[in-house]
Amino acid sequence: MRPLLLGVMMLGALGCQTTDVRTNDGRALPPVPSEIPAPPAGISIDAMTLLVGQRPIDVDGDGYPDRIEAAVALFSEDYAAASLRVPGTFVFELVPRGSDPSAIARWTVASDDPKFQTVDALYGPAWQIALDLREVADPVRPLSWVNLRGSFQPNQGALVRTSEEPRLIQIGRGS
C-alpha cells in the first residue's frame, strides 16, 4: 500500500505545471522581448545623437584635460525600431562658447576607424570614441567652456548634423 501511495504522489507531483505566473504584486510578467526587425534596404540616415562625457580626462598628467569621451548613434525616421550602423565619416569640432563659431579643434574619423569602439546600447548599435585634443590642437590653454558638435557624412546620402543644443565641456586650466 505504501509503495502505491508513494507512486501516486510522485505522479501527481510530476504532472503539476504552473500555467499563470505573476509578480509578487499580482501583475502578470511582461512579454518576452522580440527581435528587432532588420532595417529596410536603402534607408537614409537623417538624425544623429552625440553624447559627451561629463569632463575631459587629463591623460598625461600635466594638469590640462586631453581626452574627451563621446558616444554617437545614427537614426532614420523611416526606421524607428533602433539606431543604425552605416558606413561614413564623422566630423567632431570643439567650438568656443559664445558667438565665435570657428572651431579650435577638429577631428575627422571614418566609421571603420579603429578609434571607434562599436557598442550595443539600449537604443541599438552605436559607437564610442575618445577624442584626443593633443592630436589636433594644443591642450595647454586657459580655462574655458567649449561646445562639442558633430556631423556625419554617410558614404551614400546627405550630411547629418547634431542639434545646435550645447554640449558644454570645460578645457584648459585656471591660473
The per-residue pLDDT for 152 is 94
The predicted pLDDT at position 114 comes to 93
User: Cα(113)–Cα(103) distance, rounded to whole angstroms?
Assistant: 22
Domains by residue range for the chain, with CATH:
47-171 (2.60.40.3930)
- What confidence score (pLDDT) does residue 116 get? 93
| String of DSSP letters for the chain | -HHHHHHHHHHHHHT------B-TTSPBPPPPP-PPPPPPTT----EEEEEE-SS-B-SSSSSS--EEEEEEEEEETTEEEEEE---EEEEEEEEESSS----SEEEEEETTSTTSEEEEETTEEEEEEEEEHHHHS----B-EEEEEEEEEEESSS--EE--SS--EEEESB--
Task: Encode the chain (175 residues) as per-residue pLDDT tens digits.
Answer: 677 766 666 656 666 666 666 667 778 888 887 787 778 888 888 899 999 988 899 989 888 888 999 999 999 988 888 899 889 999 999 998 877 778 899 999 999 999 999 998 888 899 999 999 999 988 888 888 889 999 999 988 888 888 777 788 888 887 6
Residue 15: per-residue pLDDT: 60
Which amino acid, 32?
V
